[in-house]
Amino acid sequence: MKKHLLAGILSLSVLLSGCSALLERDYSTVTAHNAVPATEGDPSILRADSYQELVNALIYFVTSGMEEGTVRLYTNTEDVESFLADACLEVVQEDPLGAYCVEFIKYTVDPVVTYSEAKVNITYRRTREQVSSIVQATGVTAIRSELESALASFAPERVLRISYFEENEDFIRNLACQAYYDVPACALGMPEVAVSIYPNSGRQRIVEILLHYPLEHTELERQREELARTLEDLAWELTGRSGLPVAAAHALLELGEYDPQGGNTVSSLFDSKAASSEGLALSYAALCQQLELPCHVAQGTLDGEPHFWDVVQTEDGWRHIDLSTLGGEVNGETQENSPLYTGRALQELGYLWEEGSIPACSEG
């Protein structure tokens, strides 16, 4: 009985020791990240025992949007001014959020008996609303999805926090261009895209994307609402039709025609009764989306000249369709047969495109 009792006591002792160790590790983690203010109930006063804790304290102020704060420095550093200057510079230049939203950080230092007290003043170049709107995005798909959302609502900006981002501004601009063609019903003019990345390098960065549209927001909304009604009416008329991909193309061409000098937005065909290959491709993609028919705008060349068309899902798989040549001629040949082409057949007609940019249209 005594042996069992002794064994139980030893087991309990080991368990308690384990819990104690876990609690110590949790506590040390919290202290390292400086999550606990030095003065209870006052988050504007923090304690720092090292350079990294000082940096963490400044980042805490910035993340909280605080304009003033106090850091009590318990260090053996002789040159406190240089210590603070380096930390402020790191936050403003190397921390993603600091580089994005902080204009500059000023401070004053007063020596106390056992520590130095630094009064910090932070001047921002971004509003709290802008900072709170930052979206975490991981991977190209997430970035492109955020851009699609912005373009679909005609938003003037998107700010993303991205981990392991090593691309440049051109990469983001290309993604914005791709996203524009993925929301054809809102493609009322490609916006100018301005991109800034903070900081210049690092494992985590903030990407600011500014979108400048060719029309005022109220006009964009008006045109989108009008276009939505038109697409709904067309989709209703096509309900139950066989060969829907081709029927949709003919329905659009009853409203207007191809004009190389025509408009290049989704509304061009409906408003001006004529559109360029880009305008036709966007119109067809928008109608297909209304019909819940999978479709992508394709961009490439025809006989060496920039050209747009569509790739649509059919009963036989993905197929190319070009409304600008429907019933017309390509390379001197009248297109009287089905306007749906495999990739190989379209290449034989002089079309070229970047491999992987659209679904493969192979034989079924």
Instruction: Output the pLDDT for position 34.
Output: 41
The answer to whether the peptide bond before residue 359 is cis (omega within 30 degrees of 0) is no
Helix (H, G, I), strand (E, B) or coil at 56: helix
pTM over cut 0.85 = no
Are the C-beta atoms of 215 and 235 separated by less than 8 Å? no
Q: Which tens digits make up the pLDDT trace of 184-242?
A: 999 999 999 999 999 998 889 999 999 999 999 999 999 999 999 999 999 999 988 88
Task: Give the amino acid at 169.
Answer: E
Give the pairing type, strands 157-163 and 135-137: parallel
pLDDT at 50 over 50: yes
Angstrom distance (rounded) from CA 111 to CA 18: 41
Are the C-beta atoms of 57 and 82 separated by less than 8 Å? no
User: pLDDT confidence of 42, banded at 50, 70, 90?
Assistant: confident
Angle of CA points 194, 199, 201, to nearest 5° = 110
Q: Which tens digits make up the pLDDT trace of 275-289?
A: 999 999 999 999 999
What residues does 107 pair with on adjacent strands? 120
Mean pLDDT of the chain: 87
Instruction: Output the pLDDT for position 164.
Output: 87
Instruction: Output the pLDDT for position 31.
Output: 32
Q: What is the DSSP string of 308-362?
A: EEEEEEETTEEEEE-GGGTTSEETTEE--S-S-B-HHHHHHTTEEE-TTSS----
| Element spanning 298, H or E | strand 295-302
Q: Which tens digits make up the pLDDT trace of 305-347?
A: 999 999 999 999 999 999 999 865 444 444 456 799 999 999 9
Give the pairing type, strands 333-334 and 329-330: antiparallel
Residue 182 backbone phi and psi in degrees, to 5 = -85, -10
Q: Is 87 exposed, middle or buried (0-12, 13-18, 19+ CB in 10 A)?
A: buried
Residue 330's closest CA among 318, 346, 319? Answer: 346
Residue 88's closest CA among 104, 75, 74? Answer: 104
Alpha helix segments (H runs only) across 133-238:
140-152, 169-182, 217-238
Residue 109's closest CA among 131, 135, 82? Answer: 82
Instruction: Output the pLDDT for position 293.
Output: 96
- Residue 203 DSSP one-character state: S
Residue 220 to residues 215, 229, 289, Cα–Cα distance (Å): 6, 15, 19
Angstrom distance (rounded) from CA 118 to CA 106: 10
pLDDT at 160 over 60: yes
Task: Give the amino acid at 132.
Answer: S
User: pLDDT confidence of 358, banded at 50, 70, 90?
Assistant: very high
